[in-house]
Structure 1
């Protein structure tokens, strides 16, 4: 049993009591928010650690910075490969159109043939034969 008089609930609480209640409510809300942020950060940390382990398992770790000449050479190589790929695609289109109908314009079925993926077009090509002198 509590000591003293019974509280009269019809009397409004004092200003100090109201401030204390508000402070405790704000503090509880703030702590709940911090706990939620902490939980999310820990989950993200676990996910990132797993991702780091997966990346380290798949790729060798290089401690030395990449050589600028190597970067430039690989960039040039990729540009040349892209140009060669485009040239091969245009050659395949021309060769396919010339091979199927050299004197007529391409028919609707020809346009569907040219829209096939490049893997199907590559399978129809045959290597050139150049006899040695």
Structure 2
């Protein structure tokens, strides 16, 4: 693989694009390529797009490049995620940059992360209990 190319999951990119309600043509215009080229990436026939394209997609989708190329493992716990937050200058959310150097802003995001994880754990536990009840009927 050329040093200027990265490995991405086309299926993941297609899912993100569709969730954002964008067409291949729209994404191609924004990122600076052709719909055909993006189609090849999404179908997996072109697995190594240029770094420029990956950067454009990451910015458009509001995701870190690592999420698109799958090289960085996601944080394994809340502490790791929050540590990353406080090390960053900005975070991307739905394509918008949020300056997190302001401690108040970072603290609000940390609270949201902790609450979101707590709610997710409650949901997981609730579904687990419902599945248990269904199996015992």
For Structure 1 versus Structure 2, the TM-score category normalised by the shorter chain is: under 0.3
Going by fraction, where is strand more abundant, 1 or 2?
2
Structure with bigger gyration radius? 1
Going by fraction, where is helix more abundant, 1 or 2?
1
Q: Bigger relative contact order, structure 1 or 2, given CA contacts below 8 A and separation 6+?
A: 2
